[in-house]
């Protein structure tokens, strides 16, 4: 199949994200499938909004024809909103993968995918009508138009529609971030995609603070305290040597199983702290290091909340040199002053104090 490519046309400045999520749209036989194949061969995970329709047809035991696909797509957009197909997909997108998503046919689907952030870019692939007819004649797919008039008649209802739930390809085209003209040789299309990836789609890694605090947020999910989930991790030379989360001591009943009467009574914050059975996250991170015979001297403790006074004294006496926290502990003012008096670096990074 012959494909020809013009220059890449970009409509917005380059933005950066943790990964690349590329949407692909365009008219029949414009080369969308080749774009998807090219990206799949370069480790992009492929998703299709049409697959969401296919799942529904399979569940109903209905035949997958072009007419039924279109009708069912309209039905789903009517019942669940015009961005329904993309909304079904958004929740499955992982932050550690590159994706290419095809079969985008409605501006609301673009809006739903843009909710994934600056990492989403929409590519519009286009080619001349007569060339697209030649391609469809060559591939001989059942249901493809055989003449230019057939193509225009078939595409007419997909390019725009008075039905808000109908396909709106022209509106999708107007939202594209990059346009590929695909009227020539296949290697030219590939070259154009390479230029697009190289020049327009960059990504950046989180800095060390964001990296360690993000890990701490995951550690916090292991907390068994019923009142507040807190986590800490200790690094030395940017290596994690210990983690800890708040909860009852080793070998005792978990707080969420009734192990701490004070927490399970849900009393006012700051009251009866001397009766709390739970160990704090920083305390656990430091004692876990001691338990395994690993020194924390000169290290940094990252914590989701600034430390309480008890943990502050442990941090100072253990030889840690820096405290980085993402939210302020409500009773932590004295602790921060004491840390600074002891010569430790104290930094607040991330969320607003609470």
Catalytic residue positions? Answer: 282
How far, in Å, CA of 153 to CA of 129, rounded? 12
Contact 244, 283 (CB under 8 A): yes
Whole-number Å distance between alpha carbons of 270 and 124: 57
Reduce the DSSP state of residue 29 to 3 states and report it: coil
In terms of DSSP bridges, do strands 231-236 and 300-303 run parallel, antiparallel, or are they unpaired?
antiparallel
Dihedral (CA of 160, 165, 167, 170) sign = positive
Residues 6+ apart with CB under 8 A from 287: 244, 279
Contacts of 38 (CB under 8 A, 6+ apart): 189, 190, 193
Q: Are 200 and 121 in contact (CB under 8 A)?
A: yes
């Amino acid at each position: 199949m012959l494909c020809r490519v013009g220059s890449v046309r970009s409509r917005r400045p380059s933005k950066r994200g943790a990964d690349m999520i590329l949407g692909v749209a365009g008219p029949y036989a414009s080369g969308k499938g080749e774009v998807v194949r090219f990206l799949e061969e370069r480790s992009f995970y492929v998703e299709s909004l049409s697959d969401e329709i296919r799942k529904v047809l399979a569940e109903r035991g209905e035949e997958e024809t072009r007419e039924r696909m279109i009708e069912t797509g309209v039905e789903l957009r009517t019942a669940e909103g015009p961005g329904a197909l993309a909304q079904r997909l958004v929740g499955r997108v992982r932050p550690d993968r590159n994706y290419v998503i095809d079969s985008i046919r409605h501006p609301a689907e673009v809006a739903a995918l843009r909710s994934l952030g600056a990492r989403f870019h929409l590519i519009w692939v286009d080619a001349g009508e007569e060339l697209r007819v030649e391609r469809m004649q060559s591939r001989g797919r059942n249901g493809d138009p055989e003449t230019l008039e057939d193509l225009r008649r078939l595409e007419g209802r997909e390019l725009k529609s008075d039905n808000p739930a109908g396909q709106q390809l022209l509106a999708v085209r107007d939202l594209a971030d990059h346009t590929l003209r695909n009227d020539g040789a296949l290697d030219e299309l590939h070259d154009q995609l390479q230029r697009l990836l190289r020049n327009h789609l960059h990504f950046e890694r989180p800095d060390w603070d964001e990296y360690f605090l993000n890990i701490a947020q995951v550690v916090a999910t292991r907390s068994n305290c019923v009142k507040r989930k807190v986590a800490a991790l200790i690094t030395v030379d940017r290596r994690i040597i210990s983690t800890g989360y708040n909860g009852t001591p080793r070998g005792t009943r978990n707080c969420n199983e009734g192990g701490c009467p004070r927490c399970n009574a849900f009393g006012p914050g700051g009251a009866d702290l001397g009766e709390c059975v739970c160990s704090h996250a920083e305390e656990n991170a430091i004692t876990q290091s001691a338990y395994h015979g690993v020194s924390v001297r000169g290290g940094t403790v990252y914590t989701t909340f600034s430390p309480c006074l008890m943990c502050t004294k442990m941090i100072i006496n253990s030889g840690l040199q820096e405290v980085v926290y993402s939210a302020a502990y409500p009773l932590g003012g004295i602790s921060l002053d004491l840390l600074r008096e002891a010569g430790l670096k104290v930094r607040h990074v991330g969320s607003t104090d609470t």
